[in-house]
Amino acid sequence: MEPPRVVDWQNPEWVNFQRSRERWIEEFASVTTKKVHLLRPAMTVTHQFSTVIANWRQAVPFSLVEASDYLSGDFYGENIQQSIICKIFHSLSRKKPFEFHTSKCLDLRDHVTIKTSQRLQTQTSLAPAHGSAFMFIDPIDPDGSLNPGVYQKIRSVFDKVITPYEPYLGGELCADVAVYFSEESRFDPSENGINVAEAKSGRMPHLEALTGACRALKEHHIPFTVIARRNLSQLSKFKVLVLSDVLSMDSEEVGAFRAFVLDGGSLYASYRTATRDRDGNLTEDFLLADILGVSTRNEQTPDLTFFTPMSREMKEFFYPQDHLIHPQRQLVIENRSGQIIATQTLPYTDPERGEIFGKTFSSIHSNPPGKLSKDPAIVLHRAGKGRTCYVAGALEAVNQEINKRVFANLVRMLMNRPAWFEVKTHPAVEVVLLHQPEEKRFLISLVKTAPLLVDAKVDATVRLRLEEGAGRVKLIELPEKKEILFRRKEWFVEFDLKDFSGPLYMAMLDYA
């Protein structure tokens, strides 16, 4: 057939064209990898996988993993992006360590401005914390010359942040929450009807919501990772599965998610999750309606709404606010068998009418909540042995402190057993736990992800869950191998860090 010229994610011909492009990329990568292995059996092959977070235009499928001995890619976003990439690479890479690259300069278009020492350290520190290899990129000068000062600066960072910890690195990431990255949802439905050449927004609502969820989990120190279809058979390892505005879903995913909940897992789903199949067809109802306890006809509210708490817990989560503003749309849903803990409230005036100076407002500049309704917005439901929480709008996509707090508390509400760790410290400190069962030890890392925090002194209280039946326990500070005093209770050990300075703190918990 002729390639379609108009983007339409509800048109099976367009979706088929996109799937074909992805299949051709995978086939080409597979051919090249097989040829390299034929000629040089000992050589490892990796394909550029930074496109994992690119939208549909690059047409790079997650199955490129199969043609790569390990995953590798270069990235230039904020620190939460590196955290997400390290976790998705950890979940997908066939061999480890995987590899993370970024530039020594501020961005790809700046050839000379080197990042501050603090920023270089924060970016480098996330690598050992996740058991990752790391590379700074130095763009080539046209005359072939090198600046020795750049390499001295990078070496000083590596000597401080990576080299001392190399003998201890590796292990499996310990996570209680799995955030699902859907490769079939890397598009923006609002592009429907636009000519292919003009569809250049690059927006991915699913990735925006996923990023917001990960940011909230990181800042509230809830152990999490990022997974994809390749990890569907491993869902039982997690307590909570997060589906943030997952636009498309097929029968294999639906079956895995339903089984996870019925077997005792907890699931958080937001906005348009499970409302269209893999071919792009909008479904008559949620594909997971039975476990979510709600139904929808895919009708949406205006693009300004509010969440209004109904339960005691939700009122505490929102306090001191009475409402949570949502500058996006919500799905109109019907409660079937769940517990409504928040409702939808529309603004006082219709934001889409634009009657006065092209705007609508009823306060001096803003459009406050209008008449309260009973329309559900957040619904809890029990299904089989598990629980679900459905949110009619992707509240986690909005980068505000209250949104992050409400989302994190909803996730904690869904957890049915103690987390791998609990940490009280600055929100800009990311905590990562790796398990090395062969060595009978855990590695716990605290990384200052904000450059301005690197030279500041920070306190932390860390509580680590012990393996069932753990006997003798020893806690050791790395790389000095100094024993740490700790408090032991039945199922956890707890210790305090005072004036933790530098970009990275790592400790090792040995157990018998």
We report the CATH number of the domain holding residue 188 as: 3.40.50.880
Contact between residue 474 and residue 160 where contact means Cβ atoms under 8 Å apart: no
Contact between residue 255 and residue 287 where contact means Cβ atoms under 8 Å apart: no
Q: Tell whether 212 and 79 lie within a shared domain.
A: no
In a domain, 135, yes or no: yes
Q: Tell whether 20 and 123 lie within a shared domain.
A: yes
Residue 310, φ and ψ in degrees, nearest 5: -115, -40
Structure confidence at residue 135 as a pLDDT band (50, 70, 90): very high
Q: Tell whether 240 and 350 lie within a shared domain.
A: yes
For the residues 383-389, what does the mean pLDDT come to? 97
pLDDT higher than threshold 90 for residue 254: yes
Higher-pLDDT residue of 353 and 59 is: 59
> In whole angstroms, what is the distance from residue 215 CA to residue 428 CA?
10
Say if residue 12 is preceded by a cis peptide, omega within 30 of 0. Answer: no
Residue type present at position 230: R
Instruction: Give pLDDT, residue 199.
Output: 81
Q: Tell whether 234 and 382 lie within a shared domain.
A: yes
**Strand 339-345, strand 376-383: pairing:** antiparallel
For the residues 222-247, what does the mean pLDDT come to? 97
We report the CATH number of the domain holding residue 477 as: 2.60.40.1180
pLDDT (tens digit per residue) in 277-294: 988 889 999 999 999 999
Name the domain boundary from 141, 169, 197: 169
Q: Tell whether 245 and 392 lie within a shared domain.
A: yes
In a domain, 154, yes or no: yes
Instruction: Give pLDDT, residue 234.
Output: 97
Task: List the single range of 78-87, 102-111, 148-157 with lowest mean pLDDT.
Answer: 102-111
In a domain, 84, yes or no: yes
Phi-psi domain of 83 (left: phi exceeds 0; alpha: psi -120 through 50; beta: other): alpha
Q: Tell whether 88 and 54 lie within a shared domain.
A: yes
In a domain, 317, yes or no: yes
Looking at the structure of the chain, the number of domains it has is 3
Q: Tell whether 158 and 183 lie within a shared domain.
A: no
In a domain, 3, yes or no: no
Mean pLDDT in the chain? 93
Instruction: Give pLDDT, residue 235.
Output: 98
Contact between residue 422 and residue 485 where contact means Cβ atoms under 8 Å apart: no
pLDDT (tens digit per residue) in 147-195: 999 999 999 999 999 999 999 999 999 999 999 999 999 999 999 999 9
Structure confidence at residue 265 as a pLDDT band (50, 70, 90): very high
Name the domain boundary from 414, 449, 474: 414
Structure confidence at residue 362 as a pLDDT band (50, 70, 90): low
pLDDT higher than threshold 80 for residue 490: no
Say if residue 97 is preceded by a cis peptide, omega within 30 of 0. Answer: yes
Sign (positive/negative) of CA torsion 170, 132, 180, 450?
positive
Instruction: Give pLDDT, residue 484.
Output: 94
Name the domain boundary from 145, 169, 193: 169
> In whole angstroms, what is the distance from residue 110 CA to residue 451 CA?
20
DSSP state, residue 11: -
In a domain, 1, yes or no: no
Q: Tell whether 201 and 308 lie within a shared domain.
A: yes
We report the CATH number of the domain holding residue 135 as: 3.20.20.80
H or E, element range at 217: helix 205-219
Length of the chain: 512
Q: Tell whether 340 and 428 lie within a shared domain.
A: no
Q: Tell whether 338 and 383 lie within a shared domain.
A: yes
In a domain, 6, yes or no: no
Q: Tell whether 359 and 401 lie within a shared domain.
A: yes
H or E, element range at 267: strand 266-270
Contact between residue 294 and residue 337 where contact means Cβ atoms under 8 Å apart: no
Tokens for 294, please give them.
Answer: 């709600």
pLDDT higher than threshold 90 for residue 414: yes
In a domain, 149, yes or no: yes
Q: Tell whether 316 and 408 lie within a shared domain.
A: yes
Phi-psi domain of 92 (left: phi exceeds 0; alpha: psi -120 through 50; beta: other): alpha
Instruction: Give pLDDT, residue 466.
Output: 87
Tokens for 194, please give them.
Answer: 């636009």
- Domain holding 438, by residue range, is 421-511
Phi-psi domain of 110 (left: phi exceeds 0; alpha: psi -120 through 50; beta: other): beta
